[in-house]
Chains A and B, each alone.
Chain A
Amino acid sequence: MLLHITNKKDRLAVLGMIILLLLTFIAILAPYIAPYDPVELNLTQRLLSPSIKHLLGTDSVGRDILSRIIYGTRISLMIAVIVVIIEVFFGVVVGTAAGYFGRAVDEIIMRLADILLAFPGIILALVIAGLLGSSIMNLIIALTSVGWVRYARVVRGSILSIKKEGFIESARAIGCSNLRIASRHILPNIISPVIVLATLNMGTIIISIAGLSFLGLGVQPPTPEWGIMLNEGKPFMESAPHLMIFPGLMIMITVLAFNFLGDGLRDILDMRINDIVEY
């Protein structure tokens, strides 16, 4: 299948898609695939190198790294999906309001968005973790409270340009109500930029989750999570580098897969680029 697609970018997108499908299966089937319990300690088998018994070795308290990575996929993807859904929801609602009503509503929302965008996300997460404590819930709050702004801006921009299109005028001319125009003629047209943004955003969110957890501000040990695994492997970086290499690789592969897919989708969904064919 991969070989039949001639465009290099499309091929990468399909590759990204296949990797993501695989990761999704791994996440869903984690209890059946993982060879060991991800949180079970086994102090007699600490810091083992990769072997037949432990394919990716064991960590400082003897937990199987492969099993922890498999369960980590579950946590990371789940949190990322929840974060994206919340961000898209608020972004689309607020962006639509700003773009559709315009004037004062638009002005207020967009200035608020500018303020939020000026906030460094990591510091905001620090503040939220400091105020509310570190937990998955608070991690989600920290990420979404700033993240929706990007969607709101994209949605608002698309709506402003679509509002001027001829088909909106002709929809009015056949007697469509405002609600009908918004739901049937405007919303379907902003879905593709939102899908592209969401896919590319997934990668960033996965890095943020790992980063915040690495700093101790997100998911808490002993939950198997890639950022935590990196943190736990840090003291053994020289003696047992596999503790950091495998979770690091996993983060990289996942983020790359999302970026490949997002880039490909952008090209496919953006008609302007798509239409140009060179001979």
Chain B
Amino acid sequence: MSLLDIVNLNISFATRAGVVQASDEVSFKIRKGEALCLIGESGCGKSIVALGIMRLLPGNARISGKIFFNGRDLLSLHKKAMRKMRGRDIAMIFEQPAGCLNPVLSVGNQIAEAVKIHENCSGKISRQRAVDLMALVGIPCPCKRYSQYPYEFSGGMAQRVMIAMALASHPSLLIADEPTTSLDVTIQAQIIELLKNLVSQFNTSLLLITHDLGVAAQMCDSVVVMYAGGIIEKGRMSDVFKNPGHPYTQALLKAASGKEPASVKGSVPELTRLPDGCRFHPRCELSQDICRKIMPQMKKGVKCHIQKKT
């Protein structure tokens, strides 16, 4: 059975500019211990799907569909039950690690808090656990660093702290929302390595959100490509990257390979004014009449009228 099974997840926001459909019929599964990455351009709804799983969406969000986690539908859970799952069963790390730490509390204190919330333990034990966690994520001199404040931590160290907090109660699913985007390239590699090791050490499932295809290829078993709120291609990492089906995935991979100065023409459509038919057709070189009129169906992991998986 899959650990996480998302079925037809729709998330929309009522804004002054109109209804924004940030997630449109999104469905995918993550097995226990599997690493799945969600890729796509900025603004295509990746983070919204992640926040939807955590049920941490802003008040004006409307959400429908099913999110099964270990067989239970998260969307029908009571608020309190959901709160208990956060951190304990599903944890999340964010893009801006420095901004995710409370500036007036010591770093160790915040990790200890993450331990304490889900385990009824004494201050002494939670402190010890926090120090152990800091050592686990590779923070040097954890005892000394425990009582330091977030401004004394670099971005990479802060992200290690976030990882320590996220792993405090050994969640079965870790959602990492662009965990390395705001870091230096050398630090990125270290953080990716760390995440990879810890995830396999604890047998944690990983939902990695990124637009860095290199990172995705290094870490993940399967991939879901999103465009303008919807999934356009999904499958095993090796299949999709070796033999991309959708013109958008092909263009992304071409742009990432850097062999030719290629970029995908145009930009993601505004989510309030989506084109009819296939959402990618205004930017697609292969588009035909049918693409402009009818939304293609997902077939063999690709949502395209023209390209068929061979």
Contacts and interface: CB of A to CB of B under 8 A. Distances in A.
Interface of A: 165-167, 169-177, 180, 184-185, 188-189, 191, 271
B86 A172 contact: yes
A173 B162 CA distance: 11
Contacts of B88: 175
Interface stretch (B70-78, B111-119, B261-269): B111-119
A188 B86 contact: no
19 contacts: A167-B99, A169-B100, A170-B93, A170-B100, A170-B165, A172-B56, A172-B86, A173-B86, A174-B87, A174-B113, A174-B117, A174-B166, A174-B168, A175-B86, A175-B88, A176-B117, A184-B113, A189-B103, A189-B104
Interface of B: 54, 56, 83-88, 91-94, 96, 99-105, 113-114, 117-118, 151, 162, 165-166, 168
A24 B117 CA distance: 43
Given A167-B100, A188-B104, A174 B165 contact: yes
A167 B87 contact: no
Contacts of B93: 170
A188 B149 CA distance: 14
Nearest to B80: A177
A175 B84 contact: yes
Given A167-B100, A169-B94, A189-B102, A175 B54 contact: no
A171 B56 CA distance: 11
B99 A173 contact: no
A175 B82 CA distance: 8
Contact of A166 (B83, B91, B100): B100
B304 to A, nearest CB: 35
A170 B103 CA distance: 13
A30 B152 CA distance: 46
B98 to A, nearest CB: 8
Contacts of A170: 92-94, 100-101, 162, 165
Nearest to B95: A166
Nearest to B111: A174
B81 to A, nearest CB: 11
Contacts of B94: 166, 169-170, 173
Given A176-B117, A184-B113, A166 B166 contact: no
A184 B105 contact: yes
B101 A167 contact: yes
Nearest to A170: B100
Nearest to B162: A170
A157 B165 CA distance: 29
Contacts of B103: 167, 189, 271
A171 B91 CA distance: 11
A172 B96 CA distance: 16
Contacts, number: 67
Nearest to B85: A175
B29 to A, nearest CB: 22
Contacts of A184: 102, 105, 113
Nearest to A188: B104
A185 B102 contact: yes
A171 B85 CA distance: 13
A133 B56 CA distance: 55
A188 B166 CA distance: 23
In the A-B complex, list the 8 residue pairs whose CB atoms are closest, starting with the nearest. A166-B99, A175-B87, A174-B87, A170-B100, A175-B86, A173-B92, A188-B104, A166-B100
A148 to B, nearest CB: 24
A166 B96 contact: yes
Contacts of B56: 169, 172-173
Nearest to A169: B56
A185 B104 CA distance: 8
A167 B161 CA distance: 12
A92 to B, nearest CB: 16
Contacts of B85: 175
A1 B90 CA distance: 53
A176 B103 CA distance: 17
Contacts of A167: 99-103
A185 B114 CA distance: 13
Contacts of A271: 103, 151
A174 B83 contact: no
Nearest to B118: A175
Contacts of A177: 83
A177 B91 CA distance: 15
A271 B149 CA distance: 13
A103 B54 CA distance: 25
A191 B162 CA distance: 25
A166 B97 CA distance: 9
A177 B79 CA distance: 10
Contacts of A171: 102
Given A173-B56, A175-B118, 10 more contacts: A169-B56, A169-B100, A170-B92, A171-B102, A173-B94, A174-B114, A175-B83, A175-B86, A176-B117, A271-B151
B164 to A, nearest CB: 11
A188 B93 CA distance: 23
Contact of A173 (B54, B102, B113): B54
A170 B94 CA distance: 8
Q: Which of A169, A170, A176, A188 has the most CB of B within 10 A?
A: A170
Q: Which of A171, A176, A189, A271 has the most CB of B within 10 A?
A: A171
Contacts of B83: 175, 177
Contacts of B87: 173-175
